[in-house]
Amino acid sequence: MQIRNYKDQDFPRLVGLLKATNSYYEPLNTRENLKRKIGRDPNSIIILEDDKKLVGTVFIIYDPLCSFIYHLSLHPDYQKRGFGKKLMDEAEKRLKEAGIKKPTLFVTEDNKGVIDFYKKRGWSVMGKVFDMKKEL
């Protein structure tokens, strides 16, 4: 089991993983967007690999004002084996090293069950938000 940074060649396997965990969002998760993201922040997409299989990921959105953890996903065959914890440990470590003290993450209304996973790690619920968007 290996934790490493995402590379452009991972894209098809990463999309497969995000689809398998219901985390794929086509308008944002394009190959070009991810390439630009790692071009700016090479440490911002973490991959968990098992024997050449891409089995987990977590994205970090670095910003000095408000940083986010996004797209934490473990392939269903690899859930409940401590790997989600491992990926969150790594993401939180990287944020801390970057001087970020209060990161944020979102849980969607239909995935409330996962809140307990984060609470176990010391995260707390701040409030409900409405996810709004606009085409620019």
Ligand X SMILES: CC(C)(COP(=O)(O)OP(=O)(O)OC[C@H]1O[C@@H](n2cnc3c(N)ncnc32)[C@H](O)[C@@H]1OP(=O)(O)O)[C@@H](O)C(=O)NCCC(=O)NCCS
Which residues would be at the binding site for ligand X (CB under 6 A)? 21, 23, 72-74, 79-85, 107, 111, 113-114, 116-117, 120
- CB-based contact 7:45 (threshold 8 Å): no
35 or 118: CB nearest ligand X: 118
Min CB(41)–ligand X separation in Å: 20
34 or 74: CB nearest ligand X: 74
- The rounded distance, in Å, linking the Cα atoms of 51 and 81 is 16
- The rounded distance, in Å, linking the Cα atoms of 20 and 37 is 22
Min CB(90)–ligand X separation in Å: 12
Tokens of 111: 């995935």
- The rounded distance, in Å, linking the Cα atoms of 27 and 48 is 24
21 or 43: CB nearest ligand X: 21
